[in-house]
Amino acid sequence: MERKENLYGVFENLLKIKNECSYEIFSECGISDITVKQIEYLKTIDEHGKLTFTGLAQITKNSKPTITEMINKFVKMECAYREKSAEDGRIYYICLTEKGQMIARSEKYALMKLIERISDVLEATEMETLIRILKKIK
Q: Contact positions toward its own copies, by CB under 8 A?
A: 3-4, 6-8, 10-15, 17, 36, 111-112, 114-119, 121-122, 124, 126-131, 133-138
Task: Select from DNA, its own copies, none the partner in contact with residue 11, using the beta carbon and a kind-dependent cut-off of 5 to 8 Å.
Answer: its own copies
Residues in contact with DNA by CB under 7 A are 33, 35-38, 52-55, 60-73, 82, 87-93
* Residues whose CB is less than 8 angstroms from the CB of residue 70 and which lie 6 or more positions away in sequence, other chains included: 38, 41
Task: Select from its own copies, DNA, none the partner in contact with residue 92, using the beta carbon and a kind-dependent cut-off of 5 to 8 Å.
Answer: DNA
Q: How far apart are the first and last CA of the chain?
A: 21
CA-to-CA distance for 53 and 37, rounded, in angstroms? 17
CA-to-CA distance for 19 and 76, rounded, in angstroms? 27
Q: How far is the CB of 43 from DNA (least distance, A)?
A: 13
